[in-house]
A and B are shown apart, each in its own frame.
Chain A
Amino acid sequence: MKKDHRMKHFLLDNNTYIIFLALFLICCIISDKFFSYLNLRNILLQQAGPILVSVGMLMVILTGGIDLSVGSVMAVGSSMTAVLMTRMGVPWVAAIGFSLAAGIALGTLTGILVAYLKFQGFVASLAIMTIARGIAYTITNATPINLENGTLNLLTAKEYGYPIILIMIVIIVIFVVIETCTAYGRLVIACGSNIEAVKLSGIRTRRYLLSVYMISAALSTLAGVFVAARSNVGNSTIGEGQELDAIAACVIGGASLAGGKGSVTKTVIGALTLALIGNIMNLLAVPAYPQRIIKGCIIIAAVLLQVLTDKNKE
């Protein structure tokens, strides 16, 4: 009886991982191209950006907020880096630095609107989303900017061990540690559970709210840089709809949009789950438009499972 109970809880607690593994196995079975070094490496190269965006989104969602601006901020990251490198001759590493600063400035703006001016996260980030996209279009004239070989694309180079994958892994580890082992992570979650109670406990809640939007923007900018590195093109149109994928990754990973509940590792797995779905459909040559329909249905199924899990736990 008790053992059964434990088993059930184990399965419910880890359903994100179990689904991912099951999906992975299914992919291996239905396509012989799936389980190859090349394909798996490509998935990771492709997903390094989106995964970071999802982690940033999770931080915001943990506080009970939402950040719709991530896709546009990605575009700012990609465009600004390219513009600085090509038109102003800034070395590529410095260009990334400046772009990050710009991205974080946008996140700070969202954060100030939410934390100090009491905007809802949805509204504040909606406005910043529009502004950021506008900035990306303006500085590039909405045209793609080709980059010189041997600069930004070094970030995806095999001989350096695919730096963007390494950076992604390091960042994930950092955020797992922040989430589980620091007071900061603990209090971000606390803010999402009951912000008034946290405030009355003598904690400066506004700083936590502000900081998560800055983190989200920083990771999104970096994701934009990754996309530019992979294609070696600075582009103002990337990241459209990325916010939805990021939110979906968090939710598949068991996060609650009400705040206070979610996990970094599970969100990463959530993002990878979405990636697998996209990848296997490409391998099976499912046309792009129906792909979206299938993806949407799978998101519903995943979330439904989370809801059922919560009910079962009660």
Chain B
Amino acid sequence: MEKKQYRLEMKNISKQFGGIRALDHVSVEVKPGEIHALIGENGAGKSTLIKILSGAYTKDEGTIQIDGERVNIASPLDAKNLGIAVIYQEFMLAPDLSVAENIFIDRLSDKGKLINWKKLNSEAKERLESLGFGNISPQKKVGNLSVAHQQIVEICKCLTHNARILILDEPTAVLTVAEIGKLFGLIRLLKQEGVSIIFVSHHMNEIFELCDSFTVMKDGCLVGCGKVDEVSQGELVQMMIGRELTQMYPQRGAKLGEVVLKVEGLNVKGRVKNVSFEVRSGEVLGFSGLVGSGRTELMRAVFGADKKDSGKVTLLGEEVDFKEPKHAVEKGLGYLSENRKSLGLLVNQSIRINTTMSSLEKVKKGCFINHKKEKEYVKGLLSQMSTKYGSMEDDVSSLSGGNQQKISFAKWMSADCKCIVFDEPTRGVDVGAKVEIYEIINSLAKQGVAVIIISSEMTEIIGMCDRALIMAQGRITGELDKDFLNEDTIIKLAMEG
């Protein structure tokens, strides 16, 4: 046998869905102890490839070898037994069970015996400590943990099955800068132990910081692979989107107008403390800070989705007190929620139904929905945003992340808002679609809409915003104008309080 054997060899994998070729003879090779970046725009076929590896889909063609041995992965159980573990963006955890219960969910006790809680908890503690997260209590309910800690629990759970291949699907999308640092430390630790890691990410800086080798996919095909230190960022991006990305953050040139939304002394018990700010027509105002710093809670309270305890909100010069989102939308305030799957979209309904959900008035004729008018309206709106879709009767879940996000945008575009809050507008969206979303935001600002962006991506805040407010522990700790926006200052302010 060869000495420098591959841990995983996927050769000429193909997969067809209906008439669409999702994967076309794709090959990927990963060595033991290697961190391999899987890169590509949404819809490039990364997820399909991962799902084949994890047994969720079966391949039509091709072979998979693990440690030189040809394997057949027909079900998720096969994958687990072969030591393949996947950490998806949506965790596979039971929120009402404890950390220890989740980690050992499939072996809570020896066969026929009662659960030994003491042993279970101490073993869970040991495992967490070995990963450097001894501060997570094994008895705590998973639902009460931060997203970052839930992710650690998920990784810990996978490792109890002696994973040889760990796949991380955009693991950093939900984490803050500090948390990403810790996660990377953990990934490097696993690398030293010889685990092969496949790392899916849209973030170039993460790939260059962490990964050894890469595979780039586009439209279901392999477009390039190699070592990370032999390639430049520009080359990677070009492979990925097939064109040069001259400017990540397009110029705007919108004129600032009147103050549209003004918030004074807003309090939400335990979450938001005495926050005041204003945003003008045509302005893009950023809210930066760590996850849990109160940005989302603040905006939800302004929007009427949650109760606020005190504070004055003025919209277009009129004092308002929204008790429910309906009132806010009527007055022209929109809020794009941070989690499009659970709070934004009806993923099992058609693209058409989602797009017109908050603007049915526009496609009605008398009491009835005019289906022809609705279809034309949806078609026009979606093409404006260059959304890619098969048929507008397809479920939203059939779309890639970027295109799903455009549907969420479409919902608010058609609601004629004067001020829109975008909470994490590009989470889980690939580079190409990101730029398109930025362009949509810019065009809104140009039309005179006051835009608020909540983002945990500092580059996004720096690149997009005219002005940014930084929050920490429910307070605004700083305000920075465009010329003074930089990562160091933002981090410093975000850690205050």
Mark A residues whose CB is within 8 Å of B: 1-2, 5, 177, 181-183, 186-187, 189-190, 193-194, 196-204, 260-261
Contact A204 B324 (CB under 8 A): yes
Of the candidate stretches B139-147, B310-318, B338-346, the one touching chain A is B338-346
What sequence of 0s and 1s flags, for each residue 346-372 of chain B, a beta carbon within 8 Å of any chain A beta carbon? 111100010001101100100111010
Other-chain contact of A182, B325, B326, B343, B368 (Cβ < 8 Å)? B368
Nearest Cβ on chain A to B52's Cβ, whole angstroms: 15
Contact A201 B358 (CB under 8 A): yes
Contact B342 A202 (CB under 8 A): no
Using CB atoms, name the residue of chain A closest to B368: A181
Other-chain contact of A260, B303, B328, B348 (Cβ < 8 Å)? B348
- Given known pairs A1-B19, A202-B326, A203-B326, the reply for A194 and B369 (CB within 8 Å) is no
- Cα separation A181 to B353 with both chains bound (whole Å): 12
Using CB atoms, name the residue of chain B closest to A181: B368
Using CB atoms, name the residue of chain A closest to B17: A314
- Given known pairs A190-B349, A197-B343, A201-B358, the reply for A181 and B369 (CB within 8 Å) is yes
- Cα separation A63 to B334 with both chains bound (whole Å): 24
What sequence of 0s and 1s flags, for each residue 282-298 of chain B, a beta carbon within 8 Å of any chain A beta carbon? 00000000000000000
Interface status of B330 (Cβ within 8 A of chain A): yes
Using CB atoms, name the residue of chain A closest to B357: A201
- Given known pairs A181-B368, A186-B360, the reply for A200 and B335 (CB within 8 Å) is yes
Contact A186 B364 (CB under 8 A): no
Contact B345 A202 (CB under 8 A): no
- Cα separation A261 to B347 with both chains bound (whole Å): 12
Residues of A within 8 A of B357 (CB): 186-187, 190, 198, 201, 203
Other-chain contact of B353, A5, A190, A199 (Cβ < 8 Å)? A190
Residues of B within 8 A of A186 (CB): 353, 357, 360, 369
- Cα separation A160 to B343 with both chains bound (whole Å): 52
Could you list 11 examples of A-B contacts with CB < 8 Å?
A5-B19, A177-B368, A189-B353, A196-B343, A197-B344, A197-B345, A201-B357, A202-B328, A202-B358, A203-B326, A260-B349
Interface status of B18 (Cβ within 8 A of chain A): yes
Contact B329 A202 (CB under 8 A): yes
- Cα separation A186 to B352 with both chains bound (whole Å): 11
Nearest Cβ on chain A to B321's Cβ, whole angstroms: 16
**Residue from the set A5, A182, A201, A203 with the largest chain B CB neighbour count within 10 Å:** A201
- Cα separation A2 to B330 with both chains bound (whole Å): 46
- Cα separation A182 to B356 with both chains bound (whole Å): 12
Residues of B within 8 A of A196 (CB): 342-343
Using CB atoms, name the residue of chain A closest to B349: A193
Nearest Cβ on chain A to B385's Cβ, whole angstroms: 18
- Cα separation A199 to B326 with both chains bound (whole Å): 8
Using CB atoms, name the residue of chain B closest to A260: B348
Contact B326 A200 (CB under 8 A): no
- Cα separation A200 to B412 with both chains bound (whole Å): 11
Nearest Cβ on chain A to B419's Cβ, whole angstroms: 13
Contact A201 B349 (CB under 8 A): no
Residues of B within 8 A of A260 (CB): 346, 348-349
Nearest Cβ on chain A to B247's Cβ, whole angstroms: 32
How many positions in chain B have a CB within 8 Å of any CB in the partner chain?
A: 33
Residues of A within 8 A of B353 (CB): 186, 189-190
What sequence of 0s and 1s flags, for each residue 1-40 of chain B, a beta carbon within 8 Å of any chain A beta carbon? 0000000000000000011000000000000000000000
Contact B19 A201 (CB under 8 A): no
Using CB atoms, name the residue of chain B closest to A195: B346
**Residue from the set B326, B334, B335, B342 with the largest chain A CB neighbour count within 10 Å:** B326
- Cα separation A37 to B439 with both chains bound (whole Å): 66
- Cα separation A198 to B346 with both chains bound (whole Å): 8
Contact B415 A202 (CB under 8 A): yes
Contact A194 B18 (CB under 8 A): no
Interface status of B411 (Cβ within 8 A of chain A): yes
Nearest Cβ on chain A to B363's Cβ, whole angstroms: 9
Contact B348 A201 (CB under 8 A): no
Interface status of B442 (Cβ within 8 A of chain A): no
Nearest Cβ on chain A to B290's Cβ, whole angstroms: 23
Residues of A within 8 A of B411 (CB): 201
Interface status of B186 (Cβ within 8 A of chain A): no
Nearest Cβ on chain A to B183's Cβ, whole angstroms: 28
Nearest Cβ on chain A to B159's Cβ, whole angstroms: 31
Residues of A within 8 A of B360 (CB): 183, 186-187
- Cα separation A5 to B361 with both chains bound (whole Å): 36
Residues of A within 8 A of B435 (CB): none
- Cα separation A181 to B369 with both chains bound (whole Å): 5
Interface status of B305 (Cβ within 8 A of chain A): yes
16 further contact pairs, Cβ within 8 A, besides A194-B347, A203-B326: A1-B19, A181-B371, A186-B357, A186-B369, A190-B346, A193-B347, A193-B348, A197-B344, A197-B346, A198-B346, A200-B303, A200-B335, A202-B415, A203-B357, A204-B326, A260-B346
- Cα separation A189 to B352 with both chains bound (whole Å): 13
Using CB atoms, name the residue of chain B closest to A191: B346
Contact B305 A183 (CB under 8 A): no
Using CB atoms, name the residue of chain A closest to B333: A202
Residues of B within 8 A of A182 (CB): 367-369
- Cα separation A190 to B349 with both chains bound (whole Å): 8
**Residue from the set A182, A190, A199, A202 with the largest chain B CB neighbour count within 10 Å:** A202
- Cα separation A67 to B390 with both chains bound (whole Å): 37
Using CB atoms, name the residue of chain A closest to B335: A200
**Residue from the set A183, A186, A198 with the largest chain B CB neighbour count within 10 Å:** A183
- Cα separation A189 to B369 with both chains bound (whole Å): 15
- Given known pairs A5-B18, A186-B369, the reply for A194 and B326 (CB within 8 Å) is no
Residues of B within 8 A of A203 (CB): 325-326, 357-358
Using CB atoms, name the residue of chain A closest to B327: A202
Nearest Cβ on chain B to A148's Cβ, whole angstroms: 40
Interface status of B151 (Cβ within 8 A of chain A): no
A-B residue pairs, 4 tightest by C-beta: A202-B329, A193-B346, A183-B360, A201-B358
Using CB atoms, name the residue of chain A closest to B331: A202
Interface status of B337 (Cβ within 8 A of chain A): yes
Residues of A within 8 A of B325 (CB): 199-203
- Cα separation A187 to B353 with both chains bound (whole Å): 9
Nearest Cβ on chain A to B300's Cβ, whole angstroms: 9
Residues of A within 8 A of B335 (CB): 200
- Cα separation A224 to B201 with both chains bound (whole Å): 60
What sequence of 0s and 1s flags, for each residue 402-431 of chain B, a beta carbon within 8 Å of any chain A beta carbon? 000000000100010000000000000000
Residues of A within 8 A of B371 (CB): 181
- Cα separation A177 to B345 with both chains bound (whole Å): 25
- Cα separation A182 to B367 with both chains bound (whole Å): 7
- Given known pairs A181-B368, A197-B343, the reply for A202 and B330 (CB within 8 Å) is yes
Contact B342 A194 (CB under 8 A): yes
**Residue from the set B328, B357, B369 with the largest chain A CB neighbour count within 10 Å:** B357
- Cα separation A200 to B342 with both chains bound (whole Å): 11
Contact B18 A200 (CB under 8 A): no
